[in-house]
Structure 1
Amino acid sequence: MDTITHTLFGLTLYGAADKRDLQTNEKRALFVTTLVGSQIPDSDVISRLWDTEGMYQMWHRGITHSIFLVPLFALLIYILVRLLFKVTDIRYFWWALLSVFIHNTADLFNAWGTGYFEPLSDVRVTFGVIPIVDFVYWGIFLVAWLIARRVDVRHTVYRYAWAAIVVHVLIQSAQGAYLYQSYAADHEKVALSASFIPTQFTVITKTDESVSIYSDSVYQNPEVQYELTSADDADLAPLFAENKEAITLKQWSPFVVVVEDDERLGLYDPRFFDGESSFLYEYIEL
């Protein structure tokens, strides 16, 4: 998800806590716990500073988004709030654990995916059933905030908001799973990318060298958007020798389209194809 959404996750988690018996320093500790926990996995962006091998695509949302690092991040946050706010309640550890878990798990559901099981596996896990920026999330957060301003027991409102988010994710996931299975029977590879409009999906398939991009939904007939051909027999050694990011992109993507013509040798992720190119496109000029 985007930074704004992760921030809203942290604020809504803070809102869902019953703070009626907490002192001021305890409320501040909880606020920092949920907000830092909602952002800390994205601290991997600093890896750009030392990336000389074109590995950033794998490092971002890689090990820091692993389920195995959730307890470590939670412990670091717990130590931080203990030092800053002089609180010792173990519940701050559990709130930190939950906030980091929500960040890492939420990122599984969009097309970018995460290294959820690193370091045991470097496979990028992605479901593609929620867009990177989900305005349904924003709408739920906004409605909850507007209602909470007018009631005395606010945390109950935010808990209902979390329930609504879970329901939204389940509905989107069920539709995505149905579409994925309906295409998987006839194609070698299938990937999903959710539209900004709920229930609408882009389905990308690959069989041999043929790549097709469909607009589809469980409520409509599929519509072919683009038909692409991947030059899978091309020798990519020159590309990989000159462009290290291309190696990473091929490893990171579920599958790629290879381009070989008189001008360029390259590859791109078809999930982000816009009719002319993909913004995840690595190539060399010939």
Structure 2
Amino acid sequence: MDTGTHVVMGLALGGIATLDPIVATDPITAQSIVVATLVGSQAPDLDTILKLRNNAKYIRNHRGITHSIPAVLLWPILISASIYFFVPEINLLHLWIWTFIAVILHVFVDIFNAYGTQALRPFSNKWIALGVINTFDPFIFFMHIVGIIIWSYGAHPGYTFVLIYSILVVYYLLRFHARRKVSNHILEKIPDAKEIIISPTFRFHHWHIAVTTDQYFYVARSKDHEIIIQDKFEKCPIPNTPVIEAAQKDENISAFLSFSPVYRWEVDEFADHYEVRFIDLRYRSKGYYPFVAIVQLDQDLNIISSYTGWIFSEEKLRRKLELLPS
């Protein structure tokens, strides 16, 4: 989920913690737990600082080790110990319990996005992405804001957010049902589909779709239960050529290929250089595919410049490449 939603979820957990008898009778522990759940709800996204280095590091590592099983066990210990160091009179066990719940909830809700997490590391590096909830879901965020407002007017925070979360459980079930209907509609339209990737949007009945068959990639969208085919590409394996081999050694290209499950490739030869591009097919927007990796190589196959990330126009992509050092 987005940062804002994780923040309000941390506050919500701090409210639910007041149902714990130990917390309810100990104001200092209660206040410390609100701080801990806020920090715990953000901690797994510490890897966002990798953006400061480059997009390749971020794409390859975001929601990876920081969302793994060892990290989920470690974050609550670090956070609880840090708070206990400054406030030793709090109940450490209950502080740890609620911090642990906050960290678990963060990783758990991220699984429902199309991006997903490597939550099973170190046992598996597979990305778990259920593709049910958009990274930012207005309804989920709005319901948390409603709960916080009701809390601010004096309502019991624990019972308030138990009710809110009961509504959200129903909402998640409705999203699963809606996604299943989209999948069934795709199979009616493309019966030879081998792999279907469905990505949610912030609109309930709008979904991005990428379908793989033995011969083609289909890019589609579902709008109000109607499947609309937008693009169709022949499925061509990546050739084993010197240009491609040189391109795959680039950090940006290798990061893209480690993350993207469905993409097409292009190789263009110009008078003085080659250009290799990989295009993720999951996120078509206004006729453009914004998630790409591109590398330019000279005639000797040395890398001139490269880029990976989200870019929404060819002009901006060209400017990015021009700014990169050769």
Q: Quick one: which of 272, 289, 298 aligns to 1:278?
A: 289
Tell me which moved more, 113-122 or 201-210. Answer: 201-210
Helix, strand or coil at the partner of 1:192? strand
CA-CA distance at 1:275 after TM superposition: 4.4
Query: Contact (CA 8 Å) 2:196, 2:210: kept in 1 or not?
Result: yes
Structure 1 alignment gaps of length 5 or more? none
Residue matched to 1:223: 228
Q: Distance in 2 between matches of 1:140 and 1:46?
A: 29
Residue matched to 2:4: 4
CA-CA distance at 1:282 after TM superposition: 0.6
Residue matched to 2:317: none
The structure having more radius of gyration, on CA atoms, is: 2
1:22 aligns with 2:26: yes
Tell me which moved more, 90-99 or 117-126. Answer: 117-126
Aligned-pair identity in percent equals 24
Name the Cα RMSD after superposition.
2.4
Structure 2 alignment gaps of length 5 or more? 298-326
Residue matched to 1:80: 82
Choose between structure 1 and 2 for higher RCO, CA contacts under 8 A separated by at least 6 residues.
1
CA-CA distance at 1:279 after TM superposition: 2.8
Instruction: Please list, as runs of the form range in 1=range in 2, the aligned pairs for 1:148-159 lying within 5 A after superposition.
Output: 148-159=151-162
Residue matched to 2:279: 268
CA 1:20–1:152: 2 relative to 1, 3 Å: farther
CA-CA distance at 1:16 after TM superposition: 1.9
Q: Distance in 1 between matches of 2:104 and 2:139?
A: 20
CA-CA distance at 1:27 after TM superposition: 2.7
Residue matched to 1:133: 136
| Alignment TM-score, normalising by the size of structure 2 | 0.78
Cα offsets for 1:231-272 (capped at 9, x unmatched): 43434313213x322112112122212223446321121112
1:162 aligns with 2:165: yes
| Alignment TM-score, normalising by the size of structure 1 | 0.88
CA-CA distance at 1:175 after TM superposition: 2.5
CA 1:221–1:182: 2 relative to 1, 3 Å: closer
Residue matched to 2:63: 61
Helix, strand or coil at the partner of 1:90? helix
Q: Quick one: which of 33, 45, 49 aligns to 2:36?
A: 33
CA-CA distance at 1:178 after TM superposition: 4.3
1:254 aligns with 2:256: no
Helix, strand or coil at the partner of 1:118? coil
Find runs of 4+ consecutive structure 1 residues off by over 6 angstroms: none
1:100 aligns with 2:122: no
Helix, strand or coil at the partner of 1:225? strand
Residue matched to 2:239: 234
Cα offsets for 1:12-64 (capped at 9, x unmatched): 111222154222x3232111110010000011123456679x44312111011
Tell me which moved more, 121-130 or 267-276. Answer: 267-276
Q: Distance in 2 between matches of 1:22 and 1:51?
A: 45
Q: Quick one: which of 251, 266, 276 aligns to 1:244?
A: 251
